[in-house]
Amino acid sequence: MRQFIRFLLIPGFIGWILGGCSEKIEPKPPTYSQLLTGTDKKTWKMVSFQVIDAGNASGVIPVNQSNIAPCIYDDYLTFYANSERKFEASEGPTKCSASDPDLYLTDTWTLVNANATLEFYIPVLNGKYPWIIKNLTSTSMTVQYYFQDIDASYQFTFTPVTTK
C-alpha cells in the first residue's frame, strides 16, 4: 500500500498542484511606436501619395507612376526604437548621382499619441513636418499633412522594407 501511495498518488498530487499554478498569458498589442520601429528598427519606403485640395482628392497615385524622380521616391526611411528616437534617410536602389552617399540624413522622429502626430523627414518634400497618422499597421503606414493657410493636404503611404 505504501508503494501505491508513493508511486501513484504523490506524483499525481504534485502534478495537480504544479499544473494549477500556471500563469495566464495575455497578448499585448503593439503600440504605435512598436508598429513604426519594430523591436530595434524598421525601414519604410514610399509607395503612393494623394493630393487633397478643397476636399477633392486626386485619387491614389503610385509613386512609380508619378513625375517624381525614382532617385527621390525610392529612398529608405529608418525609424529606430532607441531612446533617442533616431531617424535615418538613405538612398534606395536608384541614386540621383553616383557620388551621393548612401546615408544622407540623420535626425530624430517624434510621436505624440494624444493626436496621432508623427514628425519626420520625407524626401519628396525635402523637409520635416508634423504628419497625422491616418493608418499604421505592421505592413502599412499612411500619414497626412494639412496645410495651415490653404484648404489642402498631402497624404503619403509607406510599406516596410526591413524590420529588426
Cell of 143: 500619414
Confidence band for 53, pLDDT divided at 50, 70 and 90? very high
63 alpha carbon, distance to own chain's centre: 19
- Residue-wise pLDDT tens digits, 12-39: 656 555 555 556 677 777 788 999 999 9
* Closest of 103, 118, 109, 104 to residue 87, by C-alpha: 109
Q: N- to C-terminal Cα distance for the chain? A: 59
Residue given cell 519606403 in the structure block: 45
CA distances from 19 to 5, 7, 146 (A): 20, 18, 56
* Closest of 111, 88, 122 to residue 36, by C-alpha: 111
Confidence band for 5, pLDDT divided at 50, 70 and 90? low
- Residue-wise pLDDT tens digits, 103-139: 999 999 999 988 899 999 999 999 999 999 999 999 9
Largest CA distance in the chain: 91
Question: Which runs of consecutive H residues, i.e. helices, occur in the chain?
Answer: 2-4, 10-19, 32-37, 70-73
| Mean confidence (pLDDT) of the chain | 88
